[in-house]
Structure 1
Amino acid sequence: MIKCHFEWKETIVTILADSDFFVEIARKEIAACRFILENYISKNPFFKTTLETYGKDPSAPPLIQRMIEAANTFGIGPMSTVAGTIAESAVLKMKEAGAVIAVVDNGGDIALYNAGEKPLVIGIYAGKSDFKNLGFSIEPAPDILGICTSSGTVGHSISFGISDAAIIFSKNVALSDAAATALGNALTTTGAENIKKALFVIQVPGIDGAVLVEGKDIGFWGKIPEIVKAHIDYDLITKGKNVKTVNF
């Protein structure tokens, strides 16, 4: 298994793959996605800044349309989906090229393809919460899985909530990214009952399951992978210089 840290402008990722060949495919796709995104924003600057629903644009590249559709599901801005959408695009290219294992962690928004023989364990990093050294055991499957995380206490991404980790599982990684943001925004007050209420926000078609962590409380919805003990090494967290992000 090859592990590679890769930075392209503001995009900072960790790539896991069978070989350097697939890592290079992921790098090229990430750069291509950045080019598409930057070109669109140069002509449509509101796309980058809005925190609310962005109108459908049938003339936009498919990457942009996926971002808009996912974000509009939750009434939030399309840039809330950028990390998951880019990660998904890279893993899809790796899968199409024949990779057996392909993972791109874009600052806690993870696209994962596991066609191997063993589960992959993705750790839970929830800052200073009570939940430590736990992970999700991801069984081999034919589809790409999105595991996306938002946090109001960890990392630099915008969140209007107080969650330590709002984690979403979906086969649509862009949708998973948008849902994680929406779930994180929904929790503004501590307590188990408020976690339960917040989880209603993401119960839409396409979302398989969710985990919401805040302090000593944790809530679950839908179908989630088995939770197992795991050693969470901070040095494995995807981050650039002076940047903290949530990941495995």
Structure 2
Amino acid sequence: MIRRHFQYKQTITTILADSEADIEVAKAGILDARMAVEAMVAADPFFASTFEPYDPGSDHPIICRMVDAAYEADVGPMAAVAGTIARAGVEAMQEGGALFGVVDNGGDIALMTDRILRIGIYAGNASAFLQSAFLCPPQEKITGVCTSSATVGPSISLGTADAATVFSDDLSAADAWATALCNRLSADDQSEFNRLPGSRVRGAVAIFGDSLFSYGSVPEIVPAKIDTNLITRGI
């Protein structure tokens, strides 16, 4: 397995693949999606600034995925951008014939895998779950594990969760819902989970300090040696 860091402007990723050719294909897919978002923002700056669902009227599939997810989760379309771009990278690998590929776009992870994967949990250094991971089984189709945090990383958050992680085969929905849950859940009130039935979310986890709350179908959490140096960061 090959691990490569790939960064373009604010898009900061780690790509896992079985060959350098697959890495290059993933980069091309990421850049194509990024260019679509940049073009949309240039044409309609409100698309990038609103925290509310918004449809700019584009028929580009990247923009449509973001818009649809935003309306489902009741957030702005940019809440789905990282997951949507991550999916585009893995989708390109899949279309090129790869059986394994992972794109981690700052904690929003798209993957397809012919082997078991452990995805480390990171909710801050003080979390009781620091040395834990989600055990993800082999998965032929592309699926997503997207995380939002109010206490870790540079992204804007309106909530208090150390981590809100969403599992869905729709990466845009996973990213948008991770933002929504992180914004609206609290350690004392998990009623926002009640909005998930009927959505494209398969399962979700929210971590507040040493407390973990979950909804739906969530991968097994297992002990793991987490190397925080592998967390995707800008360089």
Q: Which position in structure 1 is the counterpart of 2:207?
A: 213
Once the two structures are superposed, residues 77-127 of structure 1 have per-residue CA deviations (whole angstroms, 9 ceiling, x without a partner) of: 00000000000011011011111210000000000101x2x3111110011
Moved over 6 A (4+): none
Deviation at 1:174, TM superposition (A): 0.4
- Check the 8 A contact 2:47/2:56 in 1, yes or no: no
Q: Which position in structure 2 is the counterpart of 1:245?
A: none
- Check the 8 A contact 1:56/1:69 in 2, yes or no: no
Q: 1:223 aligns with which of 198, 217, 228?
A: 217
Q: Distance in 2 between matches of 1:190 and 1:205?
A: 23
Q: Which position in structure 2 is the counterpart of 1:244?
A: none
Q: Which position in structure 1 is the counterpart of 2:46?
A: 46
- Check the 8 A contact 1:124/1:134 in 2, yes or no: yes
Once the two structures are superposed, residues 147-170 of structure 1 have per-residue CA deviations (whole angstroms, 9 ceiling, x without a partner) of: 000001101111111001100000
Greater shift after overlay, 29-38 or 19-28? 29-38
Deviation at 1:9, TM superposition (A): 1.0
Deviation at 1:56, TM superposition (A): 5.7
Q: 2:232 aligns with which of 226, 238, 244?
A: 238
TM-score (norm 2): 0.96
Q: Distance in 2 between matches of 1:15 and 1:138?
A: 17
Q: Which residue type is aligned with residue 170 of structure 2?
A: N
TM-score (norm 1): 0.91
Q: Which position in structure 2 is the counterpart of 1:81?
A: 80
Aligned to 1:142, the other structure's residue is in SS state: strand
Q: Distance in 1 between matches of 2:179 and 2:128?
A: 21
Matches within 5 A, 1:1-248: 1-55=1-55, 57=57, 59-114=58-113, 116=114, 118-127=115-124, 128-187=126-185, 189-191=186-188, 194=189, 196-241=190-235
Greater shift after overlay, 175-184 or 139-148? 139-148
Greater shift after overlay, 196-205 or 214-223? 196-205
Structure 1: gaps of 5 or more residues:
242-248
- Equivalent pairs: percent with the same residue? 46
Once the two structures are superposed, residues 56-88 of structure 1 have per-residue CA deviations (whole angstroms, 9 ceiling, x without a partner) of: 62x431100110000111221000000000000
CA RMSD after TM alignment:
1.2
- Check the 8 A contact 2:148/2:179 in 1, yes or no: yes
How many residue pairs get aligned? The number is 234
Q: Distance in 1 between matches of 2:121 and 2:56?
A: 34
